[in-house]
Amino acid sequence: MKFLCQMQVTFPESMSPEEVAQKQAEEKEYSQALQRSGEFEAIYRVVGKYANVSIFEVESNQRLHEILSGFPMFPYMSIETTALATHPNAI
């Protein structure tokens, strides 16, 4: 199953720069492992925002939920998820 996820991160103002840097490092490690596994197909930065658009290819809704809730930044994310299907005009 293929999904488009739009993610926006908002850290609390009370979070120190060191805590933010730690979360960013953990996030990079986690997301790159998922990319290597093939479940995380693509990630694109949204210009001008601390946000991204990502494509996931997973076996189920449950697996996507496990992946998303496993992100170290998950408590600070707003996520909009859209299931995707092949378009009949796709080559």
What whole-number distance in Å separates Cα of residue 23 and Cα of residue 39? 21
pLDDT of 26: 97
- Show the domains of the chain with their CATH numbers: 2-84 (3.30.70.1060)
**Interval 10-42: pLDDT, tens:** 999 999 999 999 999 999 999 999 999 999 999
DSSP structural state of residue 39:
S
Confidence grade of residue 61 (pLDDT, cut at 50, 70, 90): very high
Q: Name the pairing type of β-strands 77-84 and 51-57.
A: unpaired
